[in-house]
Amino acid sequence: MAYPVAMNAMRAQLRQHREFVLVLLLAVALRAMAVLVFRSGGYLGEMSDFSYYRLLLSMTNQDYYPLVHFWTEYPPVFPWLMVGLYRLSLLVPPWAEPGTWFYLLLSMVLVAVDACNLIVLYAIGRHLFGSNERAVRICWIYTALLVPILTVFGWFDGLALLFLLLAVLFTLKQRPAAAGIAAGVGFMTKLVPIAALPAAFLHLSRLSQRVKLLIAVALVVLLIAAPFLATGPEYLLQSLKSPVIRSTWETVWALIDGYYSYGVAGGVDRFDPQMAGGAQHPTQLPWLAITIAFCLFYLYLFTRRVDWRDARRVVAFTALTQNLLALYFKGYSPQFLIMILPFVLLLIGGWRGIAYVLLLSAINLVEYPVYFLILPDQHWLLAGTILARTLILVILSAEYAAQVYGWRVSERTWTRLAAGVTVLVAVLGLVGAVAGFRAYAQGRYEASSHRPAMETLKDQAEPGTTVVVGDQTTYEQLYPFLHTRFRLAEIETFDYLPPWEPRLAETIARSSGPVWIYAPAESPFHAWMAGRFQPLATYKFGNWRLTAWDTP
């Protein structure tokens, strides 16, 4: 009798949450299928830390293990999850692409983690709004965003987000031990999930609940740390210190330092714990004073008298804490955005929340890959993305604080502020796009192997001259820089095309003045032209020849 009862209960649950189950199914299917055919970075380049993870894990082939024999910039949970997945992937005969099975296995685990994030997000939404409809809407918006999908292919931040959301959910459900366990495991995954602890402490008002919360956090951290404290405490301690002693990167602090590159863990010797994530560039910032200022400001927020029993205040204060940490931290990487997006969707409704998540997502893509892969020498572009992101984080923090402390700010004011930020970012984006395109075009021109030939054409050939190019790739490389000045014509000599000689003769017949040929030295074009026309000039560029012919 127990089996039919359980099945009936399951059917009832599925009927109650059928809209969310549909969103969940589609989200998991999209990510699982994409893992097989997509590569993070697309045509622009590699956008993933997976190859770096695999490089670290190669040490296990020599019996060296993370935080036992060498330090990492991550707390223990994720490195040892990777060890298990890597050793498991080695049981499968390798594919032609090195690391294929490890990358696929890790991505599939992160797909499962992302599905759990969606489930917990749905549960928090139902708790906040008391209806499935609003919670489902939040989930399908989250599912449609690029950043959560992209993270599955390159980073493990979704795992840290899971523990952060779990800590929030268990806090709302008055389960202090479970909230403490989630926060503790999250802290030993990537430190940031500890941001859920202050709100949990304030919401769980009874002394016994707070004691359970803190004991659970302490015990979990101690249990995870214990094996590493026993085998090599210096590696664990230095890994936990790594985020604190690293240099600034991709933040306002980095702009003040004049640093315009990505974050580097630091250290040249992973077997030396004293080399764990040292600073890569000097800073003149008074970090002690900055830290004290942030701590005093947060202490002021923490000690305000408000009704912490309100569920929305718990979520808003967690989001506020996380934003303040993001503003305080020395560094920021684009994948960190996945920790911020769910709270925007939970706390800011309507088009305003969607505008913020889309703006933050777009800024992320400008930062990486556009800046780092395409325009790494255009420092103004990184500065613009950092300032825009910081402005939005400050506005979001103010809106979260208003929800926590009951500030009387009208919805119209927040809407106008969001509209103003959207217009500002859009205008700056258009201006930046024009400047960025010009910088990109100039950079590609200077890097082109055909630049000497193009400069020769600009100096020696008259405007409107016909220039015949012998292959598609070269034609595509020359066209952006020469199409306004010359008449470019591509003529291929492939056997499956009609004979090239009549096409070249027709091109010459339509031209006025001399005709220039740009093709490899072995191209039949040169001999064909030499048998019919008088040469005017010949220029050699490695294996390529640029020739001018008098074609009356």
Residue 242: predicted pLDDT: 79
> What does the alpha-carbon distance between residue 3 and residue 77 come to, in Å, rounded to a whole number?
37
Residue 3: predicted pLDDT: 61
Summarised one tens digit per residue, pLDDT across range 154-173 is: 999 999 999 999 999 999 99
> What does the alpha-carbon distance between residue 244 and residue 259 come to, in Å, rounded to a whole number?
17
DSSP state of 537: E
250 occurs within a structural domain: yes
Is residue 470 very low, low, confident or very high in pLDDT (cuts 50, 70, 90)?
A: confident
Q: Are residues 467 and 344 in the same domain?
A: no
Picking from 406, 436, 466, the residue at the C-terminal end of a domain is: 436
Residue 279: predicted pLDDT: 59
Q: Are residues 341 and 314 in the same domain?
A: yes
Contacts 24+ apart (CB under 8 A), 72-75: 72/239, 72/270, 73/239, 73/242, 73/243, 73/246, 73/265, 73/276, 73/277, 74/189, 74/190, 74/239, 75/187, 75/188, 75/189, 75/190, 75/191, 75/224, 75/239, 75/240
Q: What percent of the chain has pLDDT over 90?
A: 81
What pTM was computed for the model?
0.92
Strands 534-541 vs 466-469: parallel, antiparallel or unpaired: unpaired
Q: Are residues 429 and 456 in the same domain?
A: no
Phi, psi torsion values for 517, nearest 5 degrees = -120, 130
Q: Is the pLDDT of residue 423 over 80?
A: yes
> What does the alpha-carbon distance between residue 493 and residue 517 come to, in Å, rounded to a whole number?
14
Is residue 239 very low, low, confident or very high in pLDDT (cuts 50, 70, 90)?
A: confident
Summarised one tens digit per residue, pLDDT across range 78-105 is: 999 999 999 999 999 999 889 999 999 9
Coil, strand or helix at 486: coil
Coil, strand or helix at 547: strand
Is residue 552 very low, low, confident or very high in pLDDT (cuts 50, 70, 90)?
A: confident
Number of Cα atoms under 13 Å in the Cβ half of residue 80 = 14
Alpha-carbon distance values, 546 to 34, 167, 467 (Å): 46, 68, 10
Residue 93 makes CB contacts below 8 A (sequence gap 6+) with none
Mean local confidence (pLDDT), 443-460: 95
Q: Are residues 472 and 430 in the same domain?
A: no
542 occurs within a structural domain: yes
- Full domain range(s) for residue 370: 15-436
Mean local confidence (pLDDT), 516-543: 93
Q: Are residues 378 and 469 in the same domain?
A: no
Q: Are residues 426 and 528 in the same domain?
A: no
Summarised one tens digit per residue, pLDDT across range 175-226 is: 999 999 999 999 999 989 999 999 999 999 899 999 999 999 999 999 999 9
Residue 382: predicted pLDDT: 97
User: What single-letter amino acid sits at 98?
Assistant: P
172 occurs within a structural domain: yes
Q: Are residues 373 and 488 in the same domain?
A: no
Summarised one tens digit per residue, pLDDT across range 331-372 is: 999 999 999 999 999 999 889 999 999 999 999 999 999 999
Helix axes 176-190, 207-231, angle to 10 degrees: 30
10 occurs within a structural domain: no
Closest CA to 384 of 328, 432, 323: 432
543 occurs within a structural domain: yes
442 occurs within a structural domain: no
Count up the domains in the chain and report the number.
2
Picking from 385, 406, 436, the residue at the C-terminal end of a domain is: 436
Summarised one tens digit per residue, pLDDT across range 272-324 is: 776 655 557 788 899 999 999 999 999 999 999 999 999 999 999 999 999 99
Alpha-carbon distance values, 390 to 219, 314, 316, 474 (Å): 36, 23, 18, 43
Is residue 14 very low, low, confident or very high in pLDDT (cuts 50, 70, 90)?
A: confident
**Computed over its alpha carbons, how large is the radius of gyration of the chain?**
30
Helix (H) or strand (E) holding 469: strand 466-469
Q: Are residues 394 and 460 in the same domain?
A: no
Coil, strand or helix at 477: helix
